[in-house]
Amino acid sequence: MFFEIDVNVVILLIAFGFLAAFVDSVVGGGGLISLPALLFAGLNPAAAVATNKLAGTMGSLTSTISFYRSGQLDIRSVLKYFPLAFVGSLFGAWTVHLINPSLLKPIMLIMLAGVAVYTIFKKDWGSVSAVKTLSPLHLVLFMFLLFSIGFYDGFLGPGTGSFLIFSFLLVGFDFLKAAGNAKFLNLASNCAGLLMFIYLGHVHFAYGFIMGIAQIAGAMVGSRVAIKKGSGFVRVLFIIVTITLLTKNAYDYFAH
């Protein structure tokens, strides 16, 4: 199967896979780059989304390891949330067969707009890590939020990284630690979605592994740049990617 792939397609998958993982490892939103590339390579929408989950899982695992090794991922504090994102994503991927995903798009656009506006106007937000001790009620709400984002990732997907980072910022993490924690939970939702898509038979493994190898390289470079540059760099890239996601998805929604 690998030897039958056109060289131009291989170059396309490698180039866009690397770029997607570079961005995604820092602030999420890599699907904005990798998904169109897979569609351009000739996959139908269902296969493109499924194959993107395979490549994205390889990239998110790499960036999770990089953040953990650098001390920017507090594994003990977020491990208990892993099942929430995982099970949520499984339910989300399964629900795609019952409900049209486009029904969630207006809500997603409003949420992305809110995230962008809030982050832009709270200039010092996320510059220093001051993690709050959550009350029982706030903890339940936070866990429900993470489950919902996992569900959203399995169901629709665009902006998952932004929503996860925003969630960790809300409870007091700085941008860099929020990005590290978000990658760990994004790994959970990616794995769950991938398992469901493999079960449904939608994954193009040859394209997925080629792009996935490029994503491993992109994730290594991206996470190292983020760790070196610090929270200020992550904040700027977070705002740029969130606004880009909002613009692209708003155009898709209103133009069709």
What DSSP letter does each residue of 171-183 carry, written as one string?
TT--HHHHHHHHH
Give Cβ neighbours of residue 226 (< 8 Å, ≥ 6 apart): 25, 26, 176, 179, 233, 234, 237
Question: Please, are residues 124 and 227 in contact by the beta-carbon 8 Å criterion?
Answer: no
| pLDDT given for residue 63 in this prediction | 94
Helix (H, G, I), strand (E, B) or coil at 21: helix
pLDDT, position 3? 53
Q: Give the model's pLDDT for residue 200.
A: 86
- pLDDT means per 10 residues, the chain with 256 residues, are 78 96 89 90 87 94 94 90 96 80 79 86 74 89 96 85 91 90 95 92 94 97 93 89 89 82
Nearest Cα residue to 171 out of 140, 195, 139, 203: 139
Q: What is the pLDDT of residue 118?
A: 84
Q: Is the four-CA dihedral 158, 180, 210, 198 of positive or negative sign?
A: negative
In angstroms, the CA 56 to CA 190 distance is 7
**pLDDT reported for residue 28:** 84
Find tokens 């996601």 and name the residue: 245
* pLDDT attached to residue 166: 92
Residue 99: the pLDDT is 77
What does the pLDDT read at residue 192? 95
Q: Is the Cα dihedral 161, 166, 167, 168 positive or negative?
A: positive
Q: What is the pLDDT of residues 65-75, one digit of tens each?
A: 999 999 989 88
Q: What is the pLDDT of residue 76?
A: 86
Torsion sign, CA atoms 221, 226, 227, 228: positive
Residue 158: predicted pLDDT: 76
Contact 196, 93 (CB under 8 A): yes
Q: Extract the tokens encoding 115.
A: 């995230």
User: Which residues does 33 contact at the CB level (< 8 Å), separation at least 6?
Assistant: 16, 19, 20, 23
101 DSSP assignment: G
Q: Which residue has the tokens 């953040």?
A: 67
Residues with Cβ within 8 Å of residue 183, at least 6 apart in sequence: 25, 60, 63, 64, 67, 73, 161, 223
